[in-house]
């Protein structure tokens, strides 16, 4: 792993002949930051002599985000604009961006400036050294509550106990992917888009850079706890069948306990008689078994629901408009610089 000093300017402009870099930016109601974001991104990318394509995936925003992106596109030919027919969620927005990206490498970055665009040149550098996936690990989480940090930590502990591929903690969706890594992701048809898991699943040569995560520049987080909880369930059920086994073992354990209790009460009654009817034990047993059964059916239901959703084979997302970036024109612009 390589440490990165944030904000350190690269010594010279790197010339990457004939290559295109795609930047995928999921954006949902980001009118407050998207212009500043684009300026910062442009500044950062000017350190690289590479063809550029910036795809803004508007995830059904209800504010002025699409208007602003359209304006950006009018003034900057490197901007591509993909708008969903409604809000499909960040994971799907990222997937759509990857489906449409034409670059030799693709960077996925949030629009709220929590992922600093200045780091893109060092990600490209890691890619040029041969990495297929450049993961960005956050060394700090500014502007996040203790509770959010604690729950995130717990989630990674649990999922890594259960999932078959290791999923690193503190690595978000900010990353660079080589063309073959993107192609691998595009071949995954599932609706359960737990991207962190999918990125880990594809393998290839992975490199991790460390950075300091800033607080949101403006606007508000779209991840209330309820949504994070749903994401956690997606992650666990999408990458592990362990909860199903757990339900099975629970069933066996409680059945065994019931047999032992039966033996105990039979012997006790036989030796001492039964002066008081066993009301409390009955209640306890019924409640316990009932709880285990309902819980297990619930776990089963989570998986059956996923089979149901996948089996419908609906498209992942619906596009309202797609205006691709003019990457050839951008090439001319770079040459003239």
Among the listed residues 277, 104, 86, 102, the one whose alpha carbon sits nearest the alpha carbon of residue 177: 104
Asked if 117 is part of the footprint of ligand UDP (rule: CB under 6 A), the reply reads no
Instruction: Out of 114, 122, 210, 240, name the contact with ligand UDP by CB under 6 A.
Output: 114
Q: Tokens at residue 51, please?
A: 């063809």
**Which one of 2-10, 97-105, 106-114, 258-266 is the stretch in contact with ligand UDP (CB under 6 A)?**
106-114
Closer CB to ligand UDP, residue 111 or residue 163? 111
Q: Return d(Cα 336, Cα 330) in angstroms, integer.
A: 10
Q: Return d(Cα 52, Cα 297) in angstroms, integer.
A: 50
**Which one of 88-96, 111-119, 155-163, 257-265 is the stretch in contact with Mg ion (CB under 5 A)?**
111-119
Give the number of other CB atoms < 10 A from CB of residue 39. Answer: 12
**Which one of 74-82, 110-118, 274-282, 298-306 is the stretch in contact with Mg ion (CB under 5 A)?**
110-118
Asked if 223 is part of the footprint of ligand UDP (rule: CB under 6 A), the reply reads yes
Q: At what angle do helices 279-312 and 242-272 cross, to 10 degrees?
A: 160
Asked if 231 is part of the footprint of ligand UDP (rule: CB under 6 A), the reply reads no
Pick out residues in 34-63 that bind ligand UDP (CB under 6 A): 59
51 touches, from Mg ion, ligand UDP, none (C-beta below 5 to 8 Å by class): none
**Which one of 214-222, 231-239, 256-264, 276-284 is the stretch in contact with ligand UDP (CB under 6 A)?**
214-222
Asked if 234 is part of the footprint of ligand UDP (rule: CB under 6 A), the reply reads no
Instruction: Out of 137, 222, 306, 333, name the contact with ligand UDP by CB under 6 A.
Output: 222
Closer CB to ligand UDP, residue 87 or residue 254? 87
Asked if 114 is part of the footprint of Mg ion (rule: CB under 5 A), the reply reads yes
Q: Return d(Cα 178, Cα 3) in angstroms, integer.
A: 21
Asked if 112 is part of the footprint of Mg ion (rule: CB under 5 A), the reply reads yes
Q: Return d(Cα 232, Cα 123) in angstroms, integer.
A: 28
Quote the least distance from Cβ 122 to Mg ion, whole Å: 21
Quote the least distance from Cβ 292 to ligand UDP, whole Å: 35
111 touches, from Mg ion, ligand UDP, none (C-beta below 5 to 8 Å by class): ligand UDP
**Which one of 24-32, 72-80, 199-207, 233-241 is the stretch in contact with ligand UDP (CB under 6 A)?**
24-32
How many residues interact with ligand UDP (rule CB under 6 A)? 17
Q: What is the binding site for Mg ion (CB under 5 A)?
A: 112, 114
Binding site for ligand UDP (CB under 6 A): 26-28, 30, 59, 87, 89-90, 93, 110-112, 114, 216, 221-223
């Amino acid at each position: 792993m390589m440490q990165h000093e944030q904000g350190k300017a690269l010594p010279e402009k790197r010339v990457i002949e004939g290559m295109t870099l795609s930047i995928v930016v999921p954006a949902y109601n980001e009118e407050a930051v998207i212009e500043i974001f684009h300026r910062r991104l442009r500044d950062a990318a000017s350190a690289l002599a590479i063809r550029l394509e910036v795809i803004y995936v508007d995830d059904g925003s209800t504010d002025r985000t699409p208007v602003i992106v359209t304006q950006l596109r009018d003034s900057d030919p490197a901007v591509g604009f993909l708008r969903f027919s409604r809000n499909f969620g960040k994971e799907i927005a990222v997937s759509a961006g990857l489906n449409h990206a034409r670059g030799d490498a693709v960077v996925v970055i949030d629009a709220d400036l929590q992922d600093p665009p200045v780091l893109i040149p060092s990600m490209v550098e890691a890619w040029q050294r041969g990495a297929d996936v450049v993961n960005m690990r956050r060394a700090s989480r500014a502007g996040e509550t203790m509770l959010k940090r604690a729950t995130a930590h717990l989630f990674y502990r649990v999922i890594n106990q259960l999932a078959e591929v290791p999923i690193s903690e503190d690595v978000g969706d900010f990353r660079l992917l080589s063309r073959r890594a993107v192609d691998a992701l595009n071949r995954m048809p599932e609706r359960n888009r737990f991207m962190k898991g999918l990125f880990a699943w594809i393998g290839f040569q992975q490199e991790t850079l460390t950075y300091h995560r800033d607080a949101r520049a403006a606007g508000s987080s779209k991840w209330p706890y309820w949504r994070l909880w749903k994401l956690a369930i997606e992650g666990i059920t999408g990458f592990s069948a362990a909860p199903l086994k757990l339900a099975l073992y629970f069933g066996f354990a409680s059945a065994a306990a019931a047999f032992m209790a039966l033996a105990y009460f039979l012997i006790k009654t036989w030796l001492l008689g039964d002066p008081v009817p066993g009301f409390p034990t009955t209640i306890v047993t019924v409640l316990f078994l009932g709880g285990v059964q309902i819980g297990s059916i619930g776990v089963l239901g989570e998986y059956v629901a996923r089979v149901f959703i996948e089996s419908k084979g609906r498209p992942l997302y619906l596009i309202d408009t797609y205006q691709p970036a003019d990457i050839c024109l951008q090439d001319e612009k770079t040459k003239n610089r």
